[in-house]
Amino acid sequence: MHSFTTFLRSTIFFPVIFLCLTSAPVNGVELNPPQATQAELAKASYAEEKNLADLAAAFFDTSPEPTGDGLATGTLGKDGGAVEPVLAFADEIAAGTHGEVDSLLISYHGKLIFESYYRRGRINYPHYQMSITKSYTALAIGRAIQCGFLTLDDLERPVCDFLEELDPSQFVEGAAAITLADVMTMRSGIRIPQAALRQLRSDTENSALQRQVQFFFERTSPIAPAPRDYKYQGTDPAITMQVLAAVVPGSARGFLEKELLQQLHIKQYEWSNDISGLPKSAAGSSMCSRDMMKWGHLVLYKGRLNGKQIIPTEFIELATSPLCAPSDTNSYGFFFWQHDAMVDKTETRCITCRGAGGQFIFIFPQYDVVAVVTSHNKGMGPLLKILPSRLLSCFTEGS
């Protein structure tokens, strides 16, 4: 293991000191990846994560150890990438130049070759994902297709076809035409006043299970014919989770655990419930950084995991394609973002899972690279714009 530690202060940072370390502590410095205690893990949550103390030293590892979690590992430089530029970038992150970052992990050709933790980062602590949960929800739909509970054609079916407890006679005009593809691209057209949404959150009887969707379809403004305008909102992923719950055997949570989390060897996680009683879909999951990497690999390799097709290739290609354009610089698929970044004066396609506060899974198909970032910024932070050019310049395109 080739590890490096950088000593930090919470206000004024000392000059960076890199130490080549062995596998045993030196001068009281922990050389293994920082870990949360069992007491911290027992109460892991979004609220409790804020109480994690900042690490006394940032942890860098250019040759991560395998942990038996199903994630292949390698060595930065030997297996690809330029060591010094990556370490220089990590040094800047440790110094706070790029926001309140908690972890940065990099894989190349399917191997984790760089792993680093800062501030609240811990190798075993599930970091709150915020809106990356939407991307996981999309992949759950893809898994349901692979398992035969849905088809690709079903993406164009109205969601009310799947939700047998709904009463379409009470829907507003146009609501019955909203398809699964519409909600997964944030183009349902649903527009509900905030006061009505607050009422729903306080009315547990009328928000449970499919009554949540009934409320949406009754209280929204009339739905225009497709194609409709994009609007980023929580109603659309909530409807997606409702469809998943309606078509899979057992519960939606059981399906997520058996067909995705267990398949990915993800054991240390949190996934809270929505007011409907189903797992949250707009935000609400927490994953360890290494496990986020596995989700990224699942997308990069078009749904294949250890030689097995977990999600149909066609679904992954569709989910990560530019199905609509929220802005001039960003496109959107099925809860996945896409944008182009300039790397060495060349436009490079970036597929991203994004969460508030600076949670990212970057997927770069041209480079066979995945990068994971967790943070606790007040906003998204600068890495969405900065990381692609800084990181990909360390790798040879197509190698």
Per-residue confidence band for 397, with pLDDT thresholds at 50, 70 and 90: low
- Euclidean distance between CA atoms 280 and 308, whole angstroms: 27
- Cβ burial, residue 16 (10 Å; 0-12/13-18/19+): middle
For the segment 248-286, what is each residue's pLDDT rounded down to a tens digit?
Answer: 999 999 999 999 999 999 999 999 999 999 999 999 999
Give the pLDDT confidence score for residue 201 in this predicted structure.
82
284 φ/ψ sector (left φ>0, alpha ψ -120 to 50, else beta): left
Per-residue confidence band for 3, with pLDDT thresholds at 50, 70 and 90: low
Dihedral (CA of 192, 275, 263, 42) sign: positive
For the segment 375-393, what is each residue's pLDDT rounded down to a tens digit?
Answer: 999 999 999 999 999 999 9
**Nearest Cα residue to 240 out of 359, 144, 310, 353:** 144
Q: Note the CATH number of domain 3-131+281-392.
A: 3.40.710
pTM comes to: 0.93
Q: Which residue has the higher pLDDT, 25 or 88?
A: 88
Choose the weakest-confidence range: 30-39, 113-122, 221-230, 336-345.
30-39
Residue 15 pLDDT greater than 70, yes or no: no
**Nearest Cα residue to 114 out of 152, 144, 147, 85:** 85
Give the pLDDT confidence score for residue 12 in this predicted structure.
29
- Euclidean distance between CA atoms 326 and 229, whole angstroms: 9
**Residues 137 and 241: beta-carbon distance below 8 Å:** yes
Measured in whole angstroms, how far is the alpha carbon of residue 227 from the centre of its chain?
27
Name every residue whose Cβ is closer than 8 Å to that of residue 273 and which is 6 or more positions away in sequence. 279, 280, 284
Residue 29 pLDDT greater than 80, yes or no: no
Residue 314 pLDDT greater than 60, yes or no: yes
For the segment 138-169, what is each residue's pLDDT rounded down to a tens digit?
Answer: 999 999 999 999 999 999 999 999 999 999 99
For residues 21-37, one letter each, b for 16 or more C-beta atoms within 10 angstroms of the residue's C-beta and e for the rest, the string is: beeeeeeeebbebbebe
Structure tokens at 253: 């949570």
Residue 2 pLDDT greater than 70, yes or no: no
Report, as an integer, the average pLDDT of 332-352: 95
Residue 18 pLDDT greater than 50, yes or no: no
Considering the chain, what is the average pLDDT of its residues? 91
Give the pLDDT confidence score for residue 200 in this predicted structure.
83
Report, as an integer, the average pLDDT of 225-252: 97
The ranges assigned to domains in the chain are 3-131+281-392, 150-247
Give the pLDDT confidence score for residue 206 in this predicted structure.
72
Residue 9 pLDDT greater than 50, yes or no: no
For the segment 163-218, what is each residue's pLDDT rounded down to a tens digit?
Answer: 999 999 999 999 999 999 999 999 999 999 988 888 888 877 778 899 999 999 99
Distance from first CA to last CA of the chain, Å, rounded?
A: 25
Residue type, 200: L
- Cβ burial, residue 84 (10 Å; 0-12/13-18/19+): exposed
- Maximal CA-CA distance, the chain: 72
